[in-house]
Amino acid sequence: MTEKVYKYVIVGGGVSAGYAAREFVQQGLKPGELAIFSSEEFAPYERPTLSKAYLFPEGAARLPNFHVCAGSGGTKQPPEWYTEHGIDLYLSTEVKILDVEAKSLTTSAGATYKYETVIVATGATFVRLADSGVPGADAQGIYYLREIDDADKLLAAIKDKKDGPAVVIGGGYIGLELTACLVKNDVKVTMVYPGPHCMPRLFTPELAAFYEGYYEAKGVTIVKGPRATEFEKDESGQVKTVKLKDGTTIQADIVVVGVGAKPRLELLKGQVAEEKGGFKVDGFFKTSVPHVYAVGDIAAFPMKIYGDIRRVEHVDHARKSAIQAVQAIKAEEKGETIPEYDYLPYFYSRSFDLSWQFYGDNVGEAVTWGREAAQASSSKFGTYWVKDGKVVGAFLEGGSPEENKAIAKVAKEQPAVSSKDELLSAGLSFATTI
């Protein structure tokens, strides 16, 4: 039997895949040129919705409403969109082998396809406590979140257990966003995380104190410091308690774990160069092997603005890296070049009535303004990070679209600042007046 040959193949059907498909179409894709292989059952969707509106007790988001590219104000791409554009979308189809020398892939069903150019966009998966040998971590009632399937299991548990209690392990993005969703569903939550405060990758102690205080005011109990060392189950295998290193035992009918992500590198392992825990790519998302591109969470790319190599596990980069890769592929076909990727880090989160954005780099001295006024939840406050006399990072809680644009501009332009006092007294106007 002749194997089907595609001009382009995308392996992985998440955020990057959806935005790459749209860019191919915008660049003049011909029917039959592109195939997408996804182990998920659904056409690419905006993954951030899963830890937010998907879990709301009322007005919950459901497909097709959050298919890409709805999250960035674009047109939604339900499965029919792919058919209309002559794209073969293979759903519930895991790629088991990707042979970059033979330019072929094999699915879990044993089907083989050939390609000319491949974009690998396999994203990440959650770190499991069972993998680090925590006793009882395989109990029923312990939930992780990456895909719709995971979110549906958590929703069923919320319905089944009514008011919990729940223990959320991890104080990062998943921990904070899912705690807020559980509270909205009237579940009583205890958060447990190591270290002195939540969101250690980004927050200063001062920023963390605000968010922790806000969560406590919503009825959340926060236990900082000791790790979970064991889960006890009942005779049916259902989790009953979480034991901490300091001997504390917390009752739990639901446990939600968010202790970090690990990129899914299996398919290209040993075939392309790696760096920083991902696949090393250039400013066009080309790996070390010709015609093999890697985008989104798995790509370790040159962060031009800071002159180093980084991996970024956030949606804005997933979208932009995919667009950049497709533009580079199309430009090369025409013998043209495009500018190298010049990414300004952008992270955000929303929970309860809170909403923050961050741009740039959180290095150097952190200067937080407006915190006293921020005791009222509607107030704005923020942080600037200053390195070598320049503002290199900016965080804003409660900003309007214009104000968020202003802090992005600060992080991009890196204006000089004479003293910490200048930033403290100017606050947001430092950003809005440059």
Q: Which positions touch ligand FDA (CB under 6 A)?
A: 11-17, 37-40, 47-48, 50-51, 94-95, 121-124, 145-146, 264, 267, 296-297, 313-316, 318, 347-349
Report, in Å, the least distance between residue 400 CB and ligand NAD: 19
- Site for ligand NAD contains 177 (CB under 6 A): yes
Of 64, 79, 135, 194, which lies in the binding site for ligand NAD, with binding defined by CB under 6 A?
Answer: 194
The binder of ligand NAD chosen from 7, 184, 188, 314 (CB under 6 A)? 314
Q: Which does 14 bind (CB under 5 to 8 A by kind): ligand NAD, ligand FDA, none?
A: ligand FDA
Give the nearest distance from C-beta 141 to ligand FDA in angstroms: 19
Cβ-based neighbours of 291, under 8 Å, separated by 6 or more: 100, 103, 116, 117, 118
| Residue in the shown chain whose Cβ atom is closest to ligand FDA | 14
Closest of 37, 47, 43, 54 to residue 18, by C-alpha: 43
What is the sign of the dihedral through the CA atoms of 175, 176, 179 and 181? negative
Site membership for ligand NAD, residue 173 (CB under 6 A): yes
Four-residue CA torsion sign, 202, 208, 214, 216: positive
Site for ligand NAD in 318-357 (CB under 6 A): 347-349
Mind giving me the DSSP string for 315-347?
A: HHHHHHHHHHHHHHHHHHHTT---PPP----EE
Of 193, 293, 352, 356, the residue at the interface with ligand NAD (CB under 6 A) is 193
Q: Which amino acid, residue 300?
A: A
Q: Is the dihedral of CA 163, 165, 167, 172 positive or negative?
A: positive
166: three-class secondary structure by DSSP: strand
Q: Which is nearer to ligand FDA, 13 or 427 (CB)?
A: 13
Phi first, then psi: give them for residue 340, nearest 5 degrees: -65, 155
**Residue number with CB closer to ligand NAD (193 or 301):** 193
User: Which listed option, ligand NAD, ligand FDA, none, makes contact with residue 383 (CB within 5 to 8 Å by class)?
Assistant: none
Nearer to ligand FDA, 314 or 371 (CB): 314
Residue 257's SS3 state is: strand
Shortest distance, position 404 Cβ to ligand NAD, whole Å: 14
Cβ contacts of residue 29 below 8 Å, gap of 6+?
A: 85, 86, 87
Site residues (CB under 6 A) for ligand NAD?
A: 51, 124, 169-175, 177, 193-195, 200-201, 227-228, 258-261, 313-314, 347-349
